[in-house]
Amino acid sequence: MEETKILLDENEIPKKWYNIQADLPTPLDPYLNPATKEPVGPEDLAPIFPMELIKQEVSTERWIPIPDEVRDIYRLWRPTPLYRALRLEKALKTPAKIYYKWEGVSPPGSHKPNTAVAQAYYNMKEGVERITTETGAGQWGSALAFGTCLFDLDCTIYMVRISYEQKPYRRVLMETWGAEVFPSPSQRTNAGRKILEKDPETTGSLGIAISEAVEDAATHDDTKYSLGSVLNHVLLHQTVVGLEVKKQFEIAEEYPDVMFGCVGGGSNFSGACFPFVGDKLRGERPDLQVISCEPTACPTLTKGLYKYDFGDTAMLTPLLLMYTLGHDFVPAPIHAGGLRYHGDAPLLCKLTNEGVMGAVAYHQNEVFEAALTFARAEGIVVAPETAHCVKATIDEARRCKETGEEKTIFFANSGHGHFDLAAYDAYLAGKLVDYEYPAELIKRALANLPKV
């Protein structure tokens, strides 16, 4: 009988993270100081990040050691299983093989603690007392609350207002681990007050919440800021996922033909696929397809421009070269809150711009239809974010049924949807709205990009 689940032992948790910057054909473009348009140095980032993370951000070393204290905590849930979706294959009558890496087994229920624990550790080592952050759907916020709790740090979280209202149990989870949580925009920061003056009814955005968290950290000496996606060090920490997947595929004597993952900022999919993308960059697997899956309501990779832009709405961050919809873009209030971000990770964007990776966008209803198909075959209720790559996987498996191709398909199953049942309820009741962000509004948001 074919194996459903491929497991690794605790001693097989990777001892080093993989840094794809070592294998890029050309270096990543620098982050720029918005005032001078010059590349930012460590001294520019020091007010908001600990020095060890700044070093990781700019490192071009292929392997970065994982501290023992971080690996010890990883052992609470890692290594995570790689599943063969045999029941889904049967339901779809496809000759393709479907595999997924299941990150929903972590205490916060997603891939996010892979970096939250590491970031909390490096802040603790530097004597930081409090960390601020933003969160959309609440998966990142709950992961950081979990990480700071284990290293005895205070945690302040600015949660996008629409998600704060849609997902109260995520807030409760953060507070259970000792964090304080505020709906964003809030009255606590200049950035928040300014936006509320302009639009008191705003649903908020990740860009706004980032502005609040960065401002809070920059104005308090005992506090640093932590980001759950986008930056190089965050993607680096997530490669613990892809490195495990590589070992598991070796055990299965398989290698993926196509890889799918949902992308909002880009850390989950980058973490899962970069160790494989490295093979492609080195010419070992030239035919590997790697496809990012995003919502049509926030179509960064499929409709954005590849330009320098701010990572936040209040223009407090350095300028990053990425696919962007404009830093003042506020997406529709879709249930996949973790994908409502105007930009993407510069590393993922560079690889997409150079044709190494591709991207597709989907509507809410078709995504939830795919999530139901998956849940009824495999039993797992996935997060609305993850449902985007489930949709891509099912489409690919159906294509294989038509062509007879026996492809090996992989998707990054980044988290469970237990706190997202209101979204499933809305879908089942036929109340979900499909948003296609109007081209005119995207054009307007892009008109305000900084001149570089």
Distance in angstroms (rounded) separating the CA atoms of residues 389 and 272: 13
Q: Is the pLDDT of residue 336 over 90?
A: no
Nearest-angstrom CA–CA distance, 156 and 132: 5
* Cβ neighbours around 6 below 10 Å, total: 21
Cβ-proximal residues to 78 (8 Å cutoff; 6+ apart), any chain: 10, 13, 106, 114, 240, 244
Q: What CA–CA distance (Å, rounded) separates 302 from 279? A: 25
Quick check: 333 pLDDT over 80? no
Binned at pLDDT 50, 70 and 90, residue 363 comes out as very high
Least confident of 30-34, 103-107, 302-306, 445-449: 445-449
Q: Are 178 and 349 in contact (CB under 8 A)?
A: no
In terms of Cα–Cα distance, which of 132, 177, 178 is closest to 159?
132
Residues 273, 277, 280, CA angle at the centre, nearest 5°? 150
Q: What is the DSSP string of 363-417?
A: -HHHHHHHHHHHHHHH---B-TTTHHHHHHHHHHHHHHHHH----EEEEEE-BB-
The DSSP annotation for 15-69 comes to: SEEE-GGGG-SSPPPPPB-TTT-SBP-HHHHTTTS-HHHHHHHH---SEEEPPHH
Percent of the chain with pLDDT over 70: 100
CA–CA separation, 295 vs 321, rounded Å? 21
pLDDT band at 107 (very low <50, low <70, confident <90, very high): very high
DSSP letter (8 states) at residue 187: S
- pLDDT of residue 437 exceeding 80, the answer is no
Q: What integer pLDDT is reported at residue 446 of this predicted model? A: 84
Tokens of 192: 């928040």
- pLDDT per residue as tens digits for the range 387-401: 999 999 999 999 999
Q: In whole angstroms, what is the distance from residue 61 CA to residue 22 CA?
A: 6
Show the DSSP H helices in 256-363 as ranges.
Answer: 267-281, 300-303, 346-353
32 has a pLDDT exceeding 70 = yes
Q: What is the pLDDT of residue 137?
A: 80
pLDDT at residue number 140 = 95
Do 271 and 111 meet the contact criterion of CB atoms below 8 Å apart? yes
CATH of 68-109+232-446, one of 3.10.20.30, 3.40.50.300, 3.30.1330.20, 3.40.50.1100: 3.40.50.1100
What is the percent of the chain with per-residue pLDDT over 90, rounded to a whole number? 86
Mean pLDDT of 30-34: 95
Q: Give the three-class secondary structure for 194.
A: helix
Residue 301 scores a pLDDT above 90: yes
User: 96-100, 311-315, 333-337, 407-411: which has the minimum mean pLDDT?
Assistant: 333-337
| Domain ranges (residues) in the chain | 68-109+232-446
Q: Give me 97's structure tokens.
A: 């093989």
Is pTM beyond 0.85? Reply is: yes
pLDDT at res. 220: 95
Q: In this predicted structure, what is the pLDDT of residue 313?
A: 82
Mean of pLDDT values over 160-174: 92
Average of pLDDT values for 103-116? Answer: 97
Write the DSSP string, 227-239. Answer: -SSSSHHHHHHHH
Q: By mean pLDDT, which of 162-166, 346-350, 373-377 is the weakest?
A: 162-166
Contact 126, 50 (CB under 8 A): yes
The stretch 35-45 carries a mean pLDDT of 93
Mean pLDDT across 84-110 = 98
Residue 1 has pLDDT above 70, yes or no: no
Write down the mean pLDDT value for the chain.
Answer: 95
- The residue-averaged pLDDT of 286-308 equals 96
- Angle (CA) 22 25 29, round 5°: 80
> What are the tokens at 280?
């492609």
